[in-house]
Amino acid sequence: MTEVFYFFSPTGTQGRLKRILPIRLKSAYPLIALLLSYLLTAAGSHAAEAPSKVDEALKSILTQALKSQTGIQDRFDAEVWLLDMSTRLSRWIKNKDKRINLLKLVYQESARAELDPELVLSVIQVESNFDKFAISVSGARGLMQIMPFWLDEIGRPGDDLFDIGTNLRFGCTILKYYLDMEKGGLTRALARYNGSLGKFKYPNKVYRARQKYWYKH
In this predicted structure, what is the pLDDT of residue 73?
58
Q: Where are the domains of the chain?
A: 2-43, 56-212
> In whole numbers, what is the pLDDT of the chain averaged over residues?
80
Rounded to an integer, the average pLDDT of 100-124 is 96
Which are the contacts of 73, defined by CB distance < 8 A and separation ≥ 6?
111
Give the CA dihedral 152, 61, 64, 99, nearest 10 degrees: -80
Please indicate whether residue 94 or residue 30 has the higher confidence score (pLDDT): 94
pTM of the model: 0.73
DSSP state of 12: G
Report the alpha-carbon distance of residue 56 to residue 143 in Å, rounded: 24
Per-residue pLDDT of 133-178, as tens digits, reads 999 999 999 999 999 999 999 888 999 999 999 999 999 999 999 9
DSSP 104-163: HHHHHHHHHHT--HHHHHHHHHHHHTT-TT-B-TT--BTTTTB-THHHHHTT-TT--TTS
Residue 82 reports pLDDT greater than 90: yes
Domain 56-212 has CATH 3.40.50: no
In this predicted structure, what is the pLDDT of residue 16?
40
Nearest to 144 by CA among 157, 133, 158: 133
In this predicted structure, what is the pLDDT of residue 30?
54
Per-residue pLDDT of 5-49, as tens digits, reads 333 344 444 444 333 334 444 455 555 555 544 444 444 444 545
Report the alpha-carbon distance of residue 76 to residue 79 in Å, rounded: 5
Report the alpha-carbon distance of residue 151 to residue 169 in Å, rounded: 12
